[in-house]
Amino acid sequence: MSWEIWKKGFANYLKLERSLSDHSIAAYLADVDKLVAYFGHIQQPTAPEQADAGMLSGFAAWLHSLGIGELTQARIISGVRAFYKYLLIEDAIDSNPAAAMETPRARRKLPGVLSVHEIQRMIAIIDLSKPYGQRNRAIIETLYGCGLRVSELLQLKISDLYAAEEYLRITGKGNKQRLVPIGREALRHIGLYLEGSRMQLAADRAYSDHLFLNRHGKSLSRVAIFNLVKELSRAAGIGKQVSPHTFRHSFATHLVEGGADLRAVQDMLGHESITTTEIYTHLSREYLRETLLSFHPRAGHEGVS
């Protein structure tokens, strides 16, 4: 059959069997279109089921020759693999020629991390005498103290706070819930906020259970959190690029540096796979390396092998 017929079937498979969004389906089909373009370039084969492993290896090499980034190459190859897996399910092919396709190993960019001292500087710069000072202090303490995503922070409700047990109930990606321990310092500042400025902010009953509110008594926006963090980092004289997510990375890195079990960190972050959490072991090693180079009397000098 032709490419278009198989692509239509593939789209239906992704939608009905894998429940993917229209956006994700379009991305998979665009990956297949890249393969169609390559086969048009080399003038073979005429149908997807006629491709062999050698042709698909040539496709991978072609992507590299176009100067496409390694992460994009990996994504396209993943899409092509999914397409041929579908053909195998449909008995259009006897074996999967895409199974042997090599994915380029992209160097994963390590996220930026704040030191404990830098976080303390940002916290110290918050003026608690100002109307939203206590709220802002509670936000930063919660971001760093629990390693939350911005979306998770914004969804927090008062009913998600279990102060006596020292836990937060977090709603993460895919509406999956998890319990995350919260430190006493963060709890203390949330309590001060609840007893103080939040009582004046909670004018709209529809948002009465949301924890962090804006000056109109409604739930804060992502932009407001980003602006708060940017303003605090600038005021604290921190030259790094700092975002709310930096606190999440710092939370995990400082735990790993302190000897925390990686599985426990995975659970607290809400990662599906331990592989995602393992990046913080790399950050920890990099921190140790920088410490060695900075402070060891013989590190980085001539004569050191």
At residue 23, the pLDDT reads 86
- Residues marked as catalytic: 149, 173, 245, 248, 271, 280
Confidence (pTM): 0.60
pLDDT at 165: 92
Residue 238: CA count within 13 A, CB half-sphere: 25
Query: In degrees to the nearest 10, what's the CA dihedral of 112, 113, 118, 119?
Result: 120
Evaluate if residue 212 carries a pLDDT over 60: yes
> Which has the higher per-residue pLDDT, 111 or 230?
230
CATH for 3-89 (2.30.30, 1.10.3470, 1.20.1740, 1.10.150):
1.10.150
CATH of 116-294, one of 1.10.1200.10, 1.10.443.10, 3.40.50.300, 3.90.1150.10: 1.10.443.10
Query: What's the average model confidence in pLDDT over 110-132?
Result: 90
Per-residue confidence (pLDDT) for residue 305, from 0 to 100: 35
Please report, for the chain, the start and end positions of each structural domain, with discontinuous segments joined by +.
3-89, 116-294
265-305 tens-digit pLDDT: 899 999 888 777 877 776 656 555 665 566 556 555 444 33
Separation CA 161–CA 145 (nearest Å): 14
**Do 3-89 and 116-294 agree at the fold level?**
no
pLDDT, tens digit, for every residue of 34-62?
999 998 888 877 688 888 888 998 998 99
Q: What is the pLDDT of residues 139-185, one digit of tens each?
A: 999 999 999 999 999 999 999 999 999 999 999 888 889 999 999 99
